[in-house]
Amino acid sequence: MGGRRGYVYLIDVLQRIDTHPAKDVALLTPRLWKDHFAGNPLQSDLDRNKRTGERPSVDSVL
């Protein structure tokens, strides 16, 4: 997984990992992530702000 897909995967997993059940950690591997989460990946605040033209707030960056 590389390029844009790799970026989307990494952003999604880094946001999910804090609340994801430990018993289901295998779902966060690239192959299983694609089947379970790729259709609706989580986005970073920076990506959301790029689309809307807003500048990120200090709280969303830190």
Please, which pLDDT band fits residue 3 given cuts at 50, 70 and 90?
A: confident
Give the Cα separation of 61 and 4 in Å (integer). Answer: 21
pTM beyond 0.75: no
Contact 47, 7 (CB under 8 A): no
Domain residue spans of the chain: 3-52
* Span between the terminal Cα atoms of the chain, in Å: 28
| 3 backbone φψ class: left, alpha, beta (φ>0; ψ -120 to 50) | left
For residue 57, the model assigns a pLDDT of 59
Residue where the block lists tokens 């707030």: 57
Instruction: Check whether 53 has a pLDDT greater than 60.
Output: yes
Average pLDDT, integer, range 33-46: 91
Give the Cα separation of 33 and 9 in Å (integer). Answer: 8
